[in-house]
Structure 1
């Protein structure tokens, strides 16, 4: 159960709780990316394709046009050895950078606030580029989430510096 907000400060309390929740979510996403990157590094691309085939075999046997199963197999086929090595590095590095960002914000290091805004802006630029190339709606979702997080980080930074009342 969450603590009760101070009287007359419900909006500020809710915004701070949203900031804290976004840090938790970003941290969990970072750990998932690091784990996936390490896993991709150690699993050969043939193993990934075999796993995708095993996971989707019954679905595709019943319905060869199954969108999700077909997408999963297509993604697994795209993880060739050179591409898989890059993807493994990218995921691990992206996750590590995000985890460092979350750690700095959780520790309330003053420099972490503007640095995190810069990092997230870079992520947004990459996601927009990926959206243009792939038309993946997930890139739009991630971009919108990052924009909300930037807004919350900016608010917390201003609050920390005394630019807005607590």
Structure 2
């Protein structure tokens, strides 16, 4: 097994994007596990404690108010949905990133397909309720798709040589 080794700036850019996706997957896995293990009321109290200092300075702080709102809407079925969503999302990302970094050629195409599916869902969400964060995530995912496609072509050429 040969690990992915960046050879030039294209490779390094690709590696950074893929590693960020992998870290995002790990955070999603952790979030999904936390949602399954922690009581929604405890999560809400924790978010209140974490956002209180910021909200005392700026009661309209964008991130703090959205976190507080999200934590307040956690109910039984919403928690299960969010946990399953985060666990599935995170597991797929972590597995694909690991396979790509292990130079598994099949994983490049799966990474592209999965990210395109995520992008399609994100575009739907943008049509329903646009946010700057979702726009940024969608643009980042599109960049990773492009870099993955580019790197896939380079890896195929290297394997032929």
Identify whether the pair has TM-score above 0.5, normalized to the shorter chain: yes
Give the match for residue 54 of structure 1: 49
- The partner residue of 1:142 within 118, 137, 141 is 137
Deviations 1:89-133 (A, max 9, x none): 110110000011101111111111111110000010111122222
1:78 equivalent in alignment to 2:73: yes
TM-score between the two structures when normalised by the length of structure 2:
0.86
Extract unaligned runs of 5+ from structure 1: 6-12
Identify if the C-alpha distance between structure 1 residues 68 and 116 changes in structure 2 by more than 3 Å, giving closer, same or farther.
closer
Q: Work out the CA distance in 2 between the residues paired with 1:114 and 1:59.
A: 43
**Range 141-150 or range 66-75, more displaced:** 66-75
TM-aligned CA deviation for residue 58 of structure 1: 4.2
Identify if the C-alpha distance between structure 1 residues 50 and 156 changes in structure 2 by more than 3 Å, giving closer, same or farther.
same
- The partner residue of 1:92 within 87, 95, 100 is 87
Deviations 1:39-85 (A, max 9, x none): 11111111111112222334445554443332221111122121011
Q: Work out the CA distance in 1 between the residues paired with 2:61 and 2:11.
A: 42
1:105 equivalent in alignment to 2:100: yes
Q: Work out the CA distance in 2 between the residues paired with 1:152 and 1:63.
A: 39
RMSD value, Cα: 2.2
Structure ranking higher on relative contact order (CA contacts 8 Å, 6+ apart):
2
1:23 equivalent in alignment to 2:29: no
* Structure 1 counterpart SS, 2:71: helix
1:67 equivalent in alignment to 2:62: yes
1:131 equivalent in alignment to 2:129: no
* Structure 2 counterpart SS, 1:111: helix
TM-score between the two structures when normalised by the length of structure 1:
0.84
User: Which structure has the larger Rg?
Assistant: 1
